[in-house]
A and B are shown apart, each in its own frame.
Chain A
């Protein structure tokens, strides 16, 4: 990031309004971190060199108190994007209108650069499982999800980003690869992509595919954001834990992703075993260095 403030000036317009193919208009926010309670004070008091923050939408669906106070105060100083975990876009219950209203209210409060959630289901029959459950990769699921994304986009009045999740199972009745499924959903729904590089790695290990095939198989112009995170490799299976630093093979995959997609706003997700903030800054610097190495000085779309 060379000119942080120039970017801050552009983020007051909340709508991304990306037409596929026009990736020159895609915002490159630089390198961000997740906004987590452990770091509220340090972020507010020391204005660390982080280009933007990603907030977990559900954590701010409250009436008052500390979370909203810090959210508003930190938003004054940084661009933000919103990231949800409970939209259940692949779910089969009707979309939760109450949830959507809260989401929209938060969008109006934060004016985020964009809003994302996961390509998965998180509940059924009125029960919330609080986990990112994988979908079968078939035609039925594609049209089902695409149709729901359109409902959400109509309600919010903006495009959303869908993120690929880590998975540990695959369904007998899947008909295609995860990336073909993912691509078909975003094309049919006309929405955008948040590629989680760690999740691609985790799933490639668990389901024995080549992660590069995944990167090469998704529509380049729809990719707006990357996630990086740590995982736990148990030998037999790799679990997406967000409690470790980003692993070496994930850094290498990130490098490949930058080569394929060019500059894409990148953030590191850390949700457990929180390290001192300076360690996350060092890790973010690693992402910047790779970005610099791959992209040179042309760091903006």
Chain B
């Protein structure tokens, strides 16, 4: 990270505040300095011969932006690589000013990035940035999503044929999926290679058709892949509470032979089971 936001330095402030501020007011004044560069705090800070109060205070304001930028850089590595250090640092400063942290854990600090990038110029003129942010935030939220048991193909095999139509499916809590129009997957891969070569990073480009990507956690590791159109339909159907026969209906139009609908739905389900994307298969009671 380069060029941290510098507040004015080097001027001794000899005026002391005569009034002792209440702790709450003092903290508010200090915060206003960190967040908005308001220099009122300086009159409450001691200057020494070797180091003036402004320079002392600057350590805190530089650290404020640098620490938050570091957190955003970890969360949004692709975006930081695509923009380069300086432009990304600038983005971080603007983001920090727009969405200052309100959570005790830095884990949540980047949660408004998609919103920020889609609404703020010049970033919203490059829509692939917001799409990449969706992907990168999905990785973060899948990574520490709640643990859950996973259903297996063996569980599916034990379901009597007559129970299948009413079968409901519970997805693993780490699953999230989304649509995108830019080549964000190649972009993400190129920018996340350990020794990525900036010159060789794929150029952002619009896809011929909209794609969908699913992100989830298998064991401890986060996974992602593109979704086929029929898979995407099924995921949506399940998310809306649909049972197996409704899943089959959701595939109408995507499978040529209507008799093949249950087979197709079951085979997709099977691949999800083997990938630990399903946490529960529920039969209705007799």
In the complex, what residues of A have CB within 8 A of residue B63's CB? 131
Interface members, chain B 11-62 (any A CB < 8 Å): 16-17, 20-24, 26-28, 30-31, 34-35, 43-46, 48, 50-51, 53, 55-57, 59-60
A249 proximal to B (CB < 8 A)? no
A127's partner among B31, B44, B60, B147 (CB-CB below 8 A) is B31
The answer to whether B51 and A121 touch across the interface, beta carbons within 8 angstroms, is: no
Whole-angstrom distance from the CB of B223 to the nearest CB of chain A? Answer: 13
A223 within 8 Å of B by Cβ? no
The docked-state distance in angstroms from the alpha carbon of A123 to that of B43 is: 21
Can you add 16 more A-B contacts, CB < 8 Å, to A127-B35, A128-B102?
A58-B104, A64-B148, A65-B144, A65-B145, A86-B105, A88-B104, A90-B23, A124-B24, A124-B30, A126-B102, A128-B103, A129-B64, A168-B56, A168-B59, A171-B44, A171-B45
Q: B67 in the interface, Cβ–Cβ < 8 Å? A: yes
CA distance A69 to B102 in the complex (A): 27
**Cross-chain contact B105 with A172 (CB below 8 angstroms):** no
A141–B23 alpha-carbon span in the complex (Å): 7
Q: How far is B34's CA from A130's CA once the two chains are assembled, in angstroms?
A: 11
User: Which residues does chain B contribute within 8 Å of A90, judged by CB atoms?
Assistant: 23
Which residues of chain A are within 8 angstroms of B68 by Cβ–Cβ distance? 130
Whether the Cβ atoms of B147 and A168 lie closer than 8 Å is no
Q: Closest B-chain residue to A84, C-beta based? A: B104
Q: Which residues from A are CB-within-8-Å of B43? A: 172
Contact with A along B88-118 (1 / 0, CB 8 A): 0000000000001111111101000000000
Which residue numbers of B lie inside 8 Å of A, CB to CB? 16-17, 20-24, 26-28, 30-31, 34-35, 43-46, 48, 50-51, 53, 55-57, 59-60, 63-64, 67-68, 71, 100-107, 109, 143-148, 173-174, 217, 220
Min CB distance B24 to A, Å, is: 4
CB distance B21 to A173 under 8 Å?
A: yes
Complexed CA–CA distance, A125 and B20 (Å): 20
Taken together as a complex, chains A and B put the C-alpha atoms of A138 and B22 apart, in Å, by: 11
Residues of A within 8 A of B45 (CB): 169-172
Cα distance A230–B58 in the bound complex, in angstroms: 21
Question: Once the chains bind, are A239 and B59 in contact (CB under 8 Å)?
Answer: yes
**Interfacial chain B residues near A171, Cβ < 8 Å:** 26, 44-46
Interface residue stretch chosen among A91-99, A188-196, A275-283:
A91-99
Inter-chain contact B144/A86, CB cutoff 8 Å: no
- The interface size of chain A toward B, counting residues with CB under 8 Å, comes to 47
A237 within 8 Å of B (CB atoms) = yes
* A3 within 8 Å of B (CB atoms): no
Bound CA–CA A123/B28 (angstroms) = 9
Most chain A CB neighbours (cut-off 10 Å) among B100, B103, B105, B148: B105
The complex places the Cα of A61 from the Cα of B27 at a distance, in Å, of 26
Interface membership of A273, Cβ < 8 A = no
B67–A131 CB distance below 8 A? yes
- Closest 8 A-B residue pairs measured CB to CB? A86-B104, A64-B147, A62-B144, A92-B24, A63-B146, A65-B144, A128-B101, A124-B27
Given the known A-B contacts A127-B102, A236-B51, are A136 and B46 also in contact in the complex, defined by CB atoms under 8 Å? no
Chain B residue at minimal CB-CB distance from A56: B105
Given A58-B105, A99-B104, A173-B20; A67-B144 close (CB under 8 Å): yes
- As a 0/1 sequence over residues 115 to 143 of chain A, the CB contacts with chain B under 8 angstroms (1 = contact) are 00000011111111111010110101100
Residues of B within 8 A of A135 (CB): 23
Interchain CB contact under 8 A, A61 and B105:
yes
Give the Cβ gap from A194 to chain B, nearest Cβ, in Å. 19
Q: A127-B101, A130-B101 are in contact. Are A66 and B46 (CB under 8 A)?
A: no
Q: Which of A20-79 contact B (CB under 8 A)?
A: 58-59, 61-69
The residue on A at minimum CB distance from B28 is A124
- Say yes or no: A237-B56 contact (C-beta < 8 A), given A63-B146, A92-B27, A128-B102: yes
Q: Is the CB of B48 within 8 A of A172?
A: no
18 examples of A-B residue contacts, CB within 8 angstroms: A58-B107, A62-B107, A62-B144, A63-B147, A63-B173, A65-B144, A65-B147, A86-B104, A122-B104, A128-B102, A130-B68, A130-B71, A133-B27, A133-B30, A144-B23, A169-B46, A173-B21, A208-B48
Q: Which residues on the A side are within 8 Å of B55 (C-beta)?
A: 236-237
- What residues of chain A lie closer than 8 Å to B57, measured between beta carbons? 169
A239 proximity list for chain B (CB < 8 A): 59
Compute how far the CA of A172 lies from the CA of B144 in the bound complex, rounded to whole angstroms: 44
Complex Cα–Cα for A88 and B173 (A): 32
Indicate if the CB atoms of A169 and B53 lie closer than 8 Å: yes
Contact of A128 among B60, B104, B143, B174 (CB under 8 A): B104
Give the chain B neighbours of A65 by CB distance below 8 A.
Answer: 143-145, 147, 174, 217, 220
Q: How far, in angstroms, from A208 to B47 measured CA to CA in the complex?
A: 12
Could you tell me the distance between the alpha carbons of A86 and B108 in the complex, rounded to whole angstroms? 13
A86-B104, A96-B104, A133-B30 known; A64+B146 contact, CB < 8 A: yes
Interface core residue of B16, B27, B55, B147 (most chain A CB under 10 Å): B27
**A-chain residues with CB within 8 Å of residue B17 when the two chains form the complex:** 172-173
Most chain B Cβ neighbours within 10 Å, of A66, A88, A121, A130: A130
B61 to chain A, nearest CB (A): 10
Chain A residue contacts of B106, Cβ below 8 A: 58, 130
